[in-house]
Structure 1
Amino acid sequence: MEYRRVPLVAWKKVCRPKEEGGLGIRDLGLWNKAIVGKLVNWIAKKKDSLWVKWVHQVYLKGKPWMEYTPSNESSWAWRKICKTKEDLAAGFDNGVWSVESKGYTASGCYEWLQERGPKVRWSSMVWNRWSIPKHSKFTWLILIESLNTKLKLHRIGVCDEAICCLCAQSDETQERLFSKCVYSSRVINELNSKGKMSIPSDRSLDWGVHRRGTKLQREIQMMVLMAGVYHIWNQRNRARIEGLVEMPEKITIRIIHDIKIRSGKLIKKPLAAKDRRWYEARFGEV
């Protein structure tokens, strides 16, 4: 029996660059089109190539390349090249590739085909070498509002009710779970207390963008926040599936342990005195 699962994020969005809110995964369909576009450009430029000369002699026979239509008897490969020519026609001006001043490149054509969108202000905050990768990916899902919360599942008939598993006070939405839920607030308060952080109660994006301190301090603060929301979601899943809810203090200990292990692997050089005192006051010796 084949198992199919609806993806959390559309593939087109996943393939967007990280600075535009995607994962930066290359769309192989568009990339293949950009590569075939090289052949289209060679024919348009009449490149000094035996294959290009053969194409002009056998297929075009003096006809304008950008207006040429292949016959139904043409080979599959040739019809695909002609189809790519039609898809890229808007990028040519009188047979010259006008998208890039330096001439045709596969990477430039790929970006053009992607229709680049606006940049997001949280990209560098989420995707950095300090953060634990699974925490970064989970935070990304939050920021693009793609989590399967109980309210979302209830609306499509998967859940019988939408009440929050952790506080049981209102419907479970992303905003409710990570900003207003009593349980998640207790976890963040514990982190602010034991970890001596200054994460605001609403876990706003503005705090993440404008957090203060040295570079190391800012990165570790972001690590703590992302680890916090990741472990809150894990606890939510346990509560929903197993009916178990751990004390916030235990979640906090787990978060601090994750940060200590991760930062310990990344800190190679001796820290400046200011950073060392800051770090040791929160996580112990480096």
Structure 2
Amino acid sequence: MGRGNMERKIHLVKWEIVCGDKERGGLGLRKLGLLNRALLSKWIWRFACERENLWKQVIVAKFGQEDDGWKSKKPNGAFGVGVWKEVMKETDWCWENIAFMVGKGTKIRFWTDMWCEGTALSQTFPHLFALAAHRNATVEEMWD
């Protein structure tokens, strides 16, 4: 038996249209790649800010930390690191898109944090950084 014009066919639609606003003919879905990146970046930010939480203490005990507790060391190996390894894949993108508010300068490192014009002063002035006596000093410690 033939179905003729009544056959059911899959109609492909561009993902940009599906994710578009309902008012413009889309389904109003969020772009999952961007949403996933944002959620993973939130965990990176939480790691930097939440000093005493149990989940952070477990991550630090397992993988270690660097940059005065702002970042986790990258997990190595294949066993038992899956979720945190996926979070850490977004570390560079996340930190490139974070801007610091200096405030009193007690937590912002003068040379290595990106607090001045979106770059670290150590990258902008590498010769001065090489001569610096206190490379891990905070903004507060460097200010008169």
Q: Give me the TM-score of the superposition, normalised by structure 1.
A: 0.26
Which structure exhibits the higher relative contact order, with contacts defined as CA atoms closer than 8 Å and separated by 6 or more residues?
Answer: 1
TM-score (norm 2): 0.45
